[in-house]
């Protein structure tokens, strides 16, 4: 069997006196779609930050594609993250003065890829997401449009894992379905795995596994 893409063991993350993650175990296989759910403030974004190697202040073991993150330099970790992961953040983190396309191309810029090579791909993803590809700075776009730009940006580097923190929170039901139809078909084409914080029952039903974060631990949810 191949290594899990992500393996987390006994993860503990504490803010001041608040123990948000308390022995969390998690494993993600190639191509899998795992949904994480749980009440507001329970620690879902914190969990994605740790699993995404964005937050180093945890204890426990985090192994990404067979690499123990405690044993590599922060530079190597950043490379691994860029090669391996795409992020859709809860609050998007777009650059407001750049267009949708230029925002979508940012990961390629950061990883030193020639953006001419990925420009057509990025434009195709924007169009499949129903976005205009023009020069409008993203600060003028609606919240739902910005959310879709964030989705396009997460996919531009062909990640093996897409990490998405409530990627459909600003979308109406129809746009939400459209986004997940697209993510599903891209997942089949490219074979990446998805870990997504989600609430919508309709979208949750598409996941291979649903995990509920409660009292710092992930529970298999069979509901
Ligand atoms: N940098 C921080 N410093 C202090 N406390 C923090 C920090 N980040 C998160 N927390 C706290 O940790 C808890 C979990 O936050 P987190 O954002 O992970 O929750 P969440 O499950 O994603 O919530 P939501 O569904 O509202 O997005 C919250 O009580 C939050 O206030
Ligand atoms: Mg959150």
pTM to 2 decimals?
0.93
CA distance 43 to 21: 7
Q: Is residue 16 part of a domain?
A: no
In a domain, 69, yes or no: no
pLDDT digits (tens, 9 = 90+) for 164-202: 999 888 888 888 898 889 888 889 899 999 999 999 999
**14 inside domain:** no
Q: Domain holding 192: CATH number? A: 3.40.50.300
**For residue range 50-60, what is the model confidence (pLDDT) as tens digits?**
999 999 999 99
Q: Report the share of the chain in percent with pLDDT over 90.
A: 73
Edge-to-edge strands, sheet with 59-64: 18-28, 6-15, 59-64, 67-68
pLDDT tens readout for residues 16-45: 999 999 999 999 999 999 999 999 999 999
Residue 46 located in a structural domain: yes
Q: In whole angstroms, what is the distance from residue 97 CA to residue 204 CA?
A: 34
What does the pLDDT look like over 88-118, one tens digit per residue? Answer: 988 899 999 999 999 999 999 988 888 888 8
Domain that holds residue 153: 30-58+74-220
Q: How far apart are the CA of 38 and the centre of ligand 1, in A?
A: 12
* C-alpha 10 – ligand 2 centre gap (Å): 21
Mean pLDDT in the chain? 93
Give the environment of ion ligand 2: residues with CB less than 5 A: 44-45, 90
**Is 23 within a domain?**
no
Total domains in the chain come to 1
Residue 75 pLDDT greater than 90, yes or no: yes
Q: Which of 14, 15, 48 to mutate to test the pocket of ligand 1 (most atoms within 8 A of CB)?
A: 15
pLDDT of 223 above 70: no
The answer to whether residue 6 is domain-embedded is: no
Ligand 1 atom 30, closest CA: 41
Residue whose CA is at the smallest distance from ligand 1 atom 27? 40
Is the CB of residue 25 less than 8 Å from the CB of residue 218?
Answer: yes
Q: CA-CA distance, 44 to 144, in Å (whole number)? A: 21
Q: Which residues is 67 bridged to in the sheet?
A: 64
| 92 CA from centroid of ligand 1 (Å) | 16
Q: Determine the pLDDT at residue 112.
A: 86
DSSP per residue over 21-39, as a string? EEEEEEEE-TT-EEEEE--
- 35 forms beta bridges with 196, 210
- The pLDDT assigned to 159 comes to 94
pLDDT at 1 over 60: no
Confirm whether 65 is domain-assigned: no
Q: Two tokens at 203?
A: 């979208």
pLDDT at 208 over 70: yes
- The answer to whether residue 10 sits within a structural domain is no
């Amino acid at each position: 069997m191949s290594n899990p893409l992500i393996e987390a063991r006994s993860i503990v993350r504490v803010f001041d006196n608040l123990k948000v993650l308390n022995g969390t175990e998690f494993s993600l296989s190639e191509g899998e779609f795992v949904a994480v759910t749980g009440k507001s403030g329970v620690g879902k974004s914190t969990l994605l930050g740790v699993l995404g190697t964005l937050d180093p202040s945890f204890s426990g073991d985090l192994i990404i594609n067979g690499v123990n993150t405690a044993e590599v330099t922060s530079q190597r970790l950043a490379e691994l993250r860029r090669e391996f992961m795409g992020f859709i953040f809860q609050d998007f983190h777009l650059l407001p003065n750049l267009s949708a396309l230029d925002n979508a191309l940012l990961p390629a810029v950061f990883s030193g890829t020639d953006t001419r090579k990925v420009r057509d791909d990025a434009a195709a993803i924007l169009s499949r997401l129903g976005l205009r590809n023009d020069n409008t700075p993203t600060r003028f776009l609606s919240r739902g449009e910005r959310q879709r730009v964030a989705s396009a940006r997460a996919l531009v580097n062909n990640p093996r894992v897409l990490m998405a923190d409530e990627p459909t929170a600003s979308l109406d039901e129809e746009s939400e379905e459209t986004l997940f139809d697209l993510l599903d078909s891209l997942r089949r084409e490219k074979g990446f795995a998805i870990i997504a914080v989600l609430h919508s029952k309709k979208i949750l039903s598409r996941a291979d596994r649903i995990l509920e974060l409660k009292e710092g631990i992930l529970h298999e949810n069979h509901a």
